[in-house]
Amino acid sequence: MKNSEAGLELLLYDEKAELSKVATRLKEFFMIADDGTVLLKKVYPQGMGRLLVYMIGRVAAKIMGRVSESSFTLGELTLLTGLRGDQLEQLLAANPYIVYVGHGRYRLNTLYLSKILDELQKLYITEQE
């Protein structure tokens, strides 16, 4: 490592380690098929909960080498949320769990993974009552 890069390794985030820590919790929501497809284990209506589960699954599938991209296009986001245009853009801009990665693609901000899982568990419990 160059001297000019010393200390910058503190900025690296190990997504694989973070997902490994919560793998048991993730298994409550989805499984990953051999081709990288995210298979939901619970029924979620179109909306943010469904989108977040798919986004977590896509990150996991990418880390496992099952898919080449961990990000989503606006078209995919529209299908998962049921929102279009300004509504979708406002949702994405206001949501700290989703980050823009360029070229019209968005991905999950895995720094918030535990918090996202907590919210998804609350959402699922509320839907069941």
User: The domain that contains 69 carries what CATH number?
Assistant: 1.10.10
| Domain count of the fold of the chain | 1
Write out pLDDT tens, residues 67-102.
999 999 999 999 999 999 999 999 999 999 999 999
In a domain, 59, yes or no: yes
Q: Is residue 48 part of a domain?
A: yes
Q: Is residue 12 part of a domain?
A: no
The CB-based long-range contact list for 81-90 (8 Å cut-off, 24+ gap) reads 81/46, 81/47, 81/48, 81/50, 81/51, 82/46, 82/47
What distances in angstroms separate CA 8 from CA 2, 12, 43, 73, 109, one per listed residue?
10, 8, 42, 30, 20
**43: DSSP letter:** -
Residue-wise pLDDT for 99-128, tens only, equals: 999 999 999 999 999 999 999 998 876 555
Measured in whole angstroms, the distance separating CA 62 from the mean position of its chain's CA atoms is: 11
Q: Is 14 among the domain residues? A: no
pTM: 0.88
pLDDT-derived band of residue 22, with 50, 70 and 90 as boundaries? very high
* Residue numbers of the domain that contains 45: 20-128
